[in-house]
Chains A and B, each alone.
Chain A
Amino acid sequence: AQSVTQLDSQVPVFEEAPVELRCNYSSSVSVYLFWYVQYPNQGLQLLLKYLSGSTLVKGINGFEAEFNKSQTSFHLRKPSVHISDTAEYFCAVSGPSGFQKLVFGTGTRLLVSP
């Protein structure tokens, strides 16, 4: 079984500053990793995913994440955030099954202030 830990429940940051949202996972098998974003009163939207290959993954809205197998981490980064990035961010993991069963972390609320 897989599990995901997002240690930071909330991350405050000023506009145009860099940000890193942390995600650690545990699994006994190879995994696929995802970051989703949820804006208020909306569903979850896929930001990026790691399936295989390059450990640095680029996603939408200027976000990127790096898969680190030795540290079982998949941290999300953005070099310069905007007010509009204020949202809840979820890390998720799945195993290599035919259909996916995603296991989500508890989420990190990113608060961007001017």
Chain B
Amino acid sequence: ETGVTQTPRHLVMGMTNKKSLKCEQHLGHNAMYWYKQSAKKPLELMFVYSLEERVENNSVPSRFSPECPNSSHLFLHLHTLQPEDSALYLCASSQERNYGYTFGSGTRLTVV
């Protein structure tokens, strides 16, 4: 398997649930990213991991918790979300000084 794989593709969760989004890259990249894509809004950078260390957290609410156990895997743990958190969550990876992200297909999250 190649590229960036995100699971699940679709997720419906209640506001009291706990769930996790998974991202896996098979490209040997050393940086991984979570973006949020909402309708009519620019893509919002949420978290950046470089060499498994979180290097950026763009004022994301604590109900979103990222985890990067190794350079190939990235998780986004979700708990007590709000309806406005419904969006497409995109994972991407890149290699330092090899410019250009590779994106996964995203997880469509609906909070009910």
A and B are interacting partners: yes
Number of inter-chain CB pairs below 8 Å: 57
Q: Is the CB of A45 within 8 A of B103?
A: yes
In the assembled complex, the Cα of A102 lies from the Cα of B58 at a distance in Å of 13
The answer to whether B105 touches A100 (Cβ under 8 A) is no
Within 8 A of A (CB), among B1-31: 4, 6, 30-31
The answer to whether A104 and B101 have CB atoms under 8 Å apart is: no
Mark A residues whose CB is within 8 Å of B: 32, 34, 36, 41-46, 49, 51, 90, 94, 98-107
> Is there an interface contact between A99 and B96, defined as CB atoms closer than 8 Å?
yes
Majority-rule SS of B interface residues: strand
Q: Is the CB of A98 within 8 A of B106?
A: no
Known: A41-B108, A51-B99, A106-B41. 8 other contacts (CB 8 A): A42-B105, A42-B106, A98-B50, A99-B31, A101-B45, A102-B45, A104-B42, A106-B42
B86: chain A residues within 8 A (beta carbon): none
Given contacts A43-B4, A43-B106, contact A104 B43 (CB under 8 A): yes
Shortest beta-carbon contacts, A-B, top 4? A43-B103, A104-B43, A99-B31, A44-B103
Q: Give A35 to B50 CA distance when docked, in angstroms.
A: 23
Contact A44 B42 (CB under 8 A): no
Interface centre among A34, A90, A100 (most CB of B within 10 A): A100
Chain B residues near A (Cβ < 8 Å): 4, 6, 30-31, 40-43, 45, 48, 50, 55-56, 90, 92, 94, 96-97, 99-106, 108
Give Cα A74–Cα B55 distance, bound, in whole angstroms. 29
In whole Å, how far is B30's beta carbon from the nearest beta carbon of chain A?
Answer: 8
Identity of the chain A residue whose Cβ is nearest the Cβ of B9 in the assembled complex: A41
**Which residues on B sit within 8 Å (CB–CB) of A99?**
30-31, 48, 50, 55, 94, 96
CB-CB nearest in chain A for B10 = A41
A100–B106 touching, CB < 8 Å: no
Q: Contact at A98–B105, with CB atoms within 8 Å?
A: no
A106 to B39, alpha carbons, bound, how many Å?
10
CB distance from A52 to the nearest CB of B (A): 10
